[in-house]
Amino acid sequence: LTSPRTKRYAFNAGLGCFLLFLILTTSVLAYGAFYFTYVPDTSYATPIYFDYASPAPVATGEGGLSLPGVMMPRAHVDLPGRSGHYLSYDHAYSVIVELQLPSSTHNRDLGNFMVGVELRTEDHRILHKSSRPGILRYESTLVRSAKSLLWAAPYVVGLAEEEQTLRIPIMEGVHDSYDEPVHHAIVTLSSDRVWTYGASLHLIARLTGLRYLMYYWSVPTALAFISAFAFWCLLCTALAWHVGSTWW
């Protein structure tokens, strides 16, 4: 057990286990760093606070003439970012507005309304602009009565509310620009008669290619990348060990 040959085998085995552990740890850390650098945040949500006290007047035509008596609740939404970088430049985003609306007779009688979003630069120039209609889902008197009876207890104790949540896709395939990045969004409703409990703006990244695999197939992709990285590290280490052992 104390022969030089046995000691050498034990030393080589211990060194090999240490190098294997070091290579696996380095492979995992390298893939983690690559993942967080290469794959962006896939979704971002921020609350929208509409200004009902001083809504903006509706403008029509190229001259921007205002329509008296028609007002649009308006909200300024800042986007997240560091050093002027808000969205990733190399893939598309979908813009969605989510509204929590009371299931009231007032909102049902209002019918269709429009939700508009403008994506602007820091100096307020419009980069992308679109609007989509929204409406409460229809419920007959029988369905509303049955639902009220079924949910009577949760409604009374405050565990549920009589509301509907609308997710309205506003834009698809929005790309940000390096020269003119998106800084903030302006969200408007077509009428101040729309009653809302709350609202939020969602930016959903549409990943493609390798980013799609790394995010939606994270475990198989991670195993493949870590195994490939570890294999090449082991190969280089084995070659270096072989060359070094011939000189040792």
Does the domain formed by 38-207 have CATH 2.60.120? yes
Q: How far, in Å, CA of 43 to CA of 24, rounded?
A: 31
CA-based nearest residue to 103, from 187, 186, 163: 163
- Domain coordinates of the chain in residue numbers? 38-207, 217-248
pTM above threshold 0.95: no
In 3D, which of 106, 107, 116 has the Cα closest to residue 50? 116
Per the prediction, the chain carries an average pLDDT of: 81
- For 15-40, what is the mean pLDDT? 84
What is the per-residue pLDDT across 102-125, written as a single tens digit (0 to 9) for each?
988 888 888 899 999 999 988 889
Give the model's pLDDT for residue 61.
Answer: 45
Residues in a beta bridge with 46: 201
pLDDT of residue 187: 93
Contact assessment for residue 88 and residue 205, using Cβ atoms and an 8 Å cutoff: yes
Which pLDDT value is given to residue 82? Answer: 47
Of 11-15, 19-23, 121-125, the one with minimum mean pLDDT is: 11-15
| The pair of three-digit structure tokens given for residue 85, joined into one six-digit string | 């970088």
The burial of 222, by beta-carbon neighbours within 10 Å (0-12 exposed, 13-18 middle, 19 or more buried), is given as middle
Higher pLDDT, 224 or 156: 224
Q: What pLDDT is stored for residue 114 in this prediction?
A: 92
Please write the tens of the pLDDT for every residue from 228-240.
988 888 888 778 7
